[in-house]
Amino acid sequence: MIASMDWSPLIGSALGLGMLAGIRLYATVFFLGLAIQFGWIPLGAEQEHWRVLTHPAVLGVSGVAFLIEFVADKIPLVDSAWDSFHTFIRPVGAALLATAVVGDADPVLKTVLMILSGGVALASHSSKAASRLAINHSPEPFSNVVASLLEDGLTVFGIWLAVSHPVITLVIVVLFLAVFAWLASRIFRAIRMQLSALYARLKLTHQS
């Protein structure tokens, strides 16, 4: 069944949304559901199962979580604590989002895409967390806010791209993963060092 049709659009959409979920899980779910609900993103017949994201419970929970994250992500140090808390939540959320995107597709493909989406989300989450930890070393808060707003805008644009141009999205995801694989050891080393520095800084502040 997998070989009988072109699955690249479905794979591109699933992995693209997974990459976005690693950066902004709640915004990805909320804005995608909202766009479908109001017809801003027209769905083809093969995408009708995406309408599960328009359920009031899904929109309500993801919308409230998005508002909390929108504020928390713009406060220095709070954003890094929020990222740490979501290290496992975002990949799992991305895997579950993939099931909504895949729908009734071949069970093997669904399982593979769940695993891949979770992995892509972990990669984008780690990259985002490392960059925000680095920005938090800056004494002024404006760079943090600017970075957060750019991520918000990237999420909205990325949703449109993942749905409207899934093959292009798939190419972007593959390129991102190639760069991430090349820089992975440095990214995780930077996260470890910056978390240690952050812990020392918080400990010093508490003692004073």
- For the beta carbon of residue 84, count every other beta carbon within 10 angstroms: 13
* Domain extents in the chain: 2-207
* Whole-number pLDDT of residue 102: 84
* CB burial of residue 97 (10 Å; 0-12, 13-18, 19+): buried
Distance of alpha carbon 2 from alpha carbon 159, whole angstroms = 25
**Could you tell me the pLDDT band of residue 1, with boundaries at 50, 70 and 90?**
very low
* pLDDT beyond 50 at 3: no
Mean pLDDT of the chain, nearest integer: 85
Closest-CA residue to 151 (of 30, 40, 60, 27) = 27
* Whole-number pLDDT of residue 198: 58
Q: What is the mean pLDDT of residues 149-162?
A: 94
- What pLDDT, in 10s, does the model give residues 160-199? 999 989 999 999 999 999 988 887 666 666 666 655 655 6
Distance of alpha carbon 88 from alpha carbon 118, whole angstroms = 9
Closest-CA residue to 164 (of 31, 44, 81) = 44
**CA-to-CA separations, 113 to 7, 94, 134, 163, 190, in angstroms, rounded:** 11, 10, 31, 16, 29
Q: What is the CA radius of gyration of the chain?
A: 18
* pLDDT beyond 90 at 139: no
**Could you tell me the pLDDT band of residue 2, with boundaries at 50, 70 and 90?**
very low
- What pLDDT, in 10s, does the model give residues 68-88? 999 999 888 788 889 888 989
CA angle 168/145/86 to nearest 5° reads: 65
* Whole-number pLDDT of residue 45: 72
CA trace torsion 119, 122, 128, 129 (10° rounding): -160
